[in-house]
């Protein structure tokens, strides 16, 4: 966080950067202009933001103070609701309250690009996570029998498994939940697993992340699928450094 704040405050704005302005004047770059309009938020807009903030605050409080979570006694055992279920319940409840209190039309929400992109992201992420969880949970014994001795002899190879798992699942959390228990079952020591933990960050190795799929669906030409998967700020860095655009290696046709 400290480095992020430092990078945010470092340097000067593009409007005040002489090198950027020189390149704009020479036609090498396009000027970045923000259309600022006199926007006055409505009462409904303020109310929706308030409800959203309260929902987020409630989730944080329940996640930090787990003694506040609801509990039940099932077959003589005390069961506490998981934080994941709390997030889902509060988020859905907050969304419903916003729809009702702010006089929103569900049909308009369903047609918005944000909603469509979110649905695609949820389906892709949850689908991959569920698939991996079901597969490894159902075949854990076979996997341990097949690779247990090899991984115990060469424990560093489990790092490759974590890397490829993260590349396919596109989620550090899902990869950790699916593969770390498998590594423990295979006999990999906790010290090795801790050292291998950065391997679960290989979520951008394949262009199958939800945000990339959403952009691919909205492509306007054959190269946009490749180029738009790179965030705008990073593409601007390419331009400022006078680096070429990404090669057209993933041509999927034009629309």
pTM of the model: 0.51
Structural contact between residues 169 and 126, judged by C-beta atoms closer than 8 angstroms: no
Which band of pLDDT confidence, cut at 50, 70 and 90, is reported for residue 244?
low
Write out the two tokens for 187.
Answer: 């006999």
pLDDT digits (tens, 9 = 90+) for 135-164: 777 777 787 777 777 888 888 888 888 888
Of 81-90, 134-143, 236-245, give the lowest mean pLDDT range.
236-245
**CA 31 – CA 166 distance, rounded (Å):** 37
Find, among 229, 223, 214, 230, the residue nearest to 249 by Cα: 223
């Amino acid at each position: 966080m400290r480095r992020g704040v430092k990078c945010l405050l470092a340097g000067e704005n593009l409007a005040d950067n002489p090198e950027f302005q020189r390149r704009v004047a020479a036609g090498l770059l396009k000027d970045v202009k923000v259309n600022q309009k006199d926007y006055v938020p409505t009462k409904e807009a303020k109310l929706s933001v308030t409800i959203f903030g309260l929902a987020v605050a409630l989730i944080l409080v329940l996640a930090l103070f787990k003694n506040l979570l609801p509990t039940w006694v099932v077959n003589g055992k005390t069961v506490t609701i998981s934080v994941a279920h709390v997030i889902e319940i509060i988020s859905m409840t907050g969304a419903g309250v916003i729809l009702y209190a702010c006089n929103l039309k569900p049909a308009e929400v369903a047609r918005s690009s944000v909603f469509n992109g979110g649905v695609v992201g949820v389906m892709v992420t949850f689908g991959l996570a569920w698939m991996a969880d079901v597969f490894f949970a159902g075949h854990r014994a076979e996997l341990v029998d097949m690779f247990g001795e090899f991984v115990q002899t060469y424990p560093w190879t489990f790092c490759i498994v974590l890397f490829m798992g993260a590349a396919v699942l596109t989620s550090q959390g899902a990869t950790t939940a699916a593969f770390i228990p498998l590594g423990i079952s295979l006999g990999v020591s906790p010290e090795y697993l801790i050292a291998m933990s950065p391997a679960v960050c290989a979520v951008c190795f394949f262009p199958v992340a939800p945000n990339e799929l959403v952009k691919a669906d909205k492509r306007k030409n054959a190269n946009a699928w490749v180029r738009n998967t790179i965030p705008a700020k990073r593409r601007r860095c390419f331009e400022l450094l006078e680096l070429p655009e990404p090669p057209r290696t993933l041509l999927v046709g034009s629309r």
